[in-house]
Chain A
Amino acid sequence: AQSVTQLDSHVSVSEGTPVLLRCNYSSSYSPSLFWYVQHPNKGLQLLLKYTSAATLVKGINGFEAEFKKSETSFHLTKPSAHMSDAAEYFCVVSDWEPARQLTFGSGTQLTVLP
C-alpha cells in the first residue's frame, strides 16, 4: 500500500525568501511522485514529476524537488517566493500496483507575505 504525508498543513514565507514544502511517502514498489498546485477556485496543475530518472526534478515556475529514497522524501523547494505562488500544494504518489492509482497527501497551504 502507498501513502503520502505532507508534514506541514500551512507554510508562510515572505516574498523573496526560500520555500520548502515537505513530503514523505511510503510505497511497496518503485513509485512515481508528483507535486500538483491548486490556486484558489482553480483545478490542479502539474508542477513536476519524478519517474526514476534524475533524482533532482525541475518543474514549472522555478520549483524543484529532490527524490531521496533513503529518507523516503520528496520535498518541494523554490529559491525565492513570489506572491503568485500562494496556493495549495499536493504531494502525490503513484505505485505500479494497483493499476498506478494516485494517492494524494492532505495538502500544504502556502501563504506568501509581502
Chain B
Amino acid sequence: DADVTQTPRNRITKTGKRIMLECSQTKGHDRMYWYRQDPGLGLRLIYYSFDVKDINKGEISDGYSVSRQAQAKFSLSLESAIPNQTALYFCATSDGGQGSTDTQYFGPGTRLTVL
C-alpha cells in the first residue's frame, strides 16, 4: 500500500462549490503539507502542519483552509471554488529529521478542475 494517499484523485466541480481534498499517511510522520502545481511554476506551498495542534500558512493560502484531524490525516478545503484554483494538488509528509535532512514524501496528487 502507498505510504501517502490522496482522495479523490480527480475532481471536477463548479464555481462556488465547497470542495475537500483528503490526505492520509502511514509513515508515522508528524509533518504534513499541501502544495499546488501549475504548469511552469513548480510546486507552491499552501499550508503546512508540524503536529496536530500546529497549522501554518504557506506561500499561497488565500482561498484555502485546512484541518489536521489526526497525525495521519490532513485535509484541504476550498470553501468557494473558483476557476483559477484549477490545478494539481499534492500532499506531502516529513519526519522533521535531524539537522537539515527533512525529506518530504509526496502523495500521487489530486487533479482538480473548477468550471
Contacts and interface: CB of A to CB of B under 8 A. Distances in A.
Interface of A: 4, 9, 30-32, 34, 36, 42-46, 49, 51-52, 90, 94, 96, 99-102, 104-107
Helix, strand, loop or mixed for chain B's interface?
Answer: loop
Contact of B103 (A9, A31, A46, A90): A46
Nearest to B39: A107
Interface in B47-87: 48, 50, 56, 58
A36 B45 CA distance: 16
Which of B4, B99, B100, B103 has most chain A Cβ within 10 Å? B100
B80 to A, nearest CB: 27
Contacts of A9: 40
Contacts of A42: 108-109
Nearest to A98: B56
A32 B42 contact: no
Contacts of B42: 4, 90, 104-107
B90 A96 contact: no
A43 B103 contact: no
Interface string B23-41: 0000000000100000011
Contact of B100 (A36, A43, A45, A52): A52
A5 B44 CA distance: 14
Nearest to A96: B100
A49 B102 CA distance: 10
21 contacts: A32-B101, A42-B108, A43-B106, A44-B90, A44-B106, A46-B105, A51-B100, A52-B99, A52-B100, A90-B43, A94-B100, A96-B100, A99-B48, A100-B96, A100-B102, A102-B33, A102-B43, A102-B104, A106-B40, A106-B42, A107-B42
A32 B106 contact: no
A101 B45 contact: yes
Nearest to A101: B45
B103 A104 contact: no
Contacts of A96: 100
Nearest to A46: B103
A51 B104 contact: no
Contacts of B108: 42-43
